[in-house]
Amino acid sequence: MRIEEALPFPYGFETGSTALVLIDMQRDFIEPGGFGESLGNDVSLLEAIVPATQAALKAWREAGGLVVHTREAHRPDLSDCPPAKRNRGNPALRIGDDGPMGRILVAGEPGNQIIEALAPVGGEIVIDKPGKGAFHATGLHALLKERGITHLLFGGVTTEVCVQTSMREANDRGYDCLLLEDCTESYFPAFKAATLDMVRAQGGIVGWTAPSTALLAALRRGL
């Protein structure tokens, strides 16, 4: 299959060796009352990508493609959260503190769950990651290699933090990566725009970008 509209040039992939990776579409970043809002961000910006992401997820599932969901999640004892991470941001509400949706960024808490519209279904991989990158301190690379995955389609939040970090990690591990432009968002629109530019600059130094409609069209064409 080929996404002709991809930038900087068409992106070829096979459904059987490609995974859709949705980064951190969890309540804490996307819903009002969560960690993202507590840091002073306008979460409605992130909510806006849910319909396009839902449509891409549905089409990808129907095509039989592998789906990976990640959550930024720490162990309840925070043994996987170094002070260098915990001490950032608003010191009144740090990782592990009680927030409106339970303990912030702690596995198992209500705010840590993936939003209902994109909830994982049986057979999909769910990765709890303590870092920004999906490959740091997780078994993701091994799980993808076991399944013969060579290409990754990325969506999720936030574009310039966990999505970009994961994509760069993936590229360094040999995956051909494409970022679905309307399935990713930042609290800072300029950061999103800059990230899309950075990914596809210099001949696609990190990978490709394309609108999700181009993926849907490729899947419909089936070649």
Per the CB < 8 A criterion, the answer to whether 43 and 36 are in contact is yes
Interaction of residue 38 with ligand C5J, rule CB under 6 A:
no
Per the CB < 8 A criterion, the answer to whether 209 and 7 are in contact is yes
Is 162 an annotated catalytic residue? yes
* DSSP one-letter code for 69: E
Choose, from 24, 132, 177, 183, the residue flagged as catalytic: 24
Is 81 an annotated catalytic residue? no
Interaction of residue 158 with ligand C5J, rule CB under 6 A:
yes
Cis upstream peptide for 158 (omega within 30°): yes
Q: How far is the CB of 29 from ligand C5J (least distance, A)?
A: 6
CA–CA distance, 93 with 104 (Å, rounded to integer): 8
Interaction of residue 161 with ligand C5J, rule CB under 6 A:
yes
Choose, from 28, 81, 132, 162, the residue flagged as catalytic: 162
**How big, in percent rounded to 5, are the helix, strand and coil portions of the chain?**
40, 25, 40
CA distances to 72, 133, 182, 215 from 103, in Å: 13, 21, 30, 37
Choose, from 129, 132, 176, 177, the residue flagged as catalytic: 129
Task: Supply 32's token pair.
Answer: 């009002």
Interaction of residue 104 with ligand C5J, rule CB under 6 A:
no
Q: Which of 56, 162, 177, 206 binds ligand C5J (CB under 6 A)?
A: 162
Interaction of residue 18 with ligand C5J, rule CB under 6 A:
no
Q: How far is the CB of 125 from ligand C5J (least distance, A)?
A: 17
Is 85 an annotated catalytic residue? no
Residues near ligand C5J (CB under 6 A) are 24, 29, 72, 157-158, 161-162
Would you name the residues annotated as active-site residues? 24, 129, 162
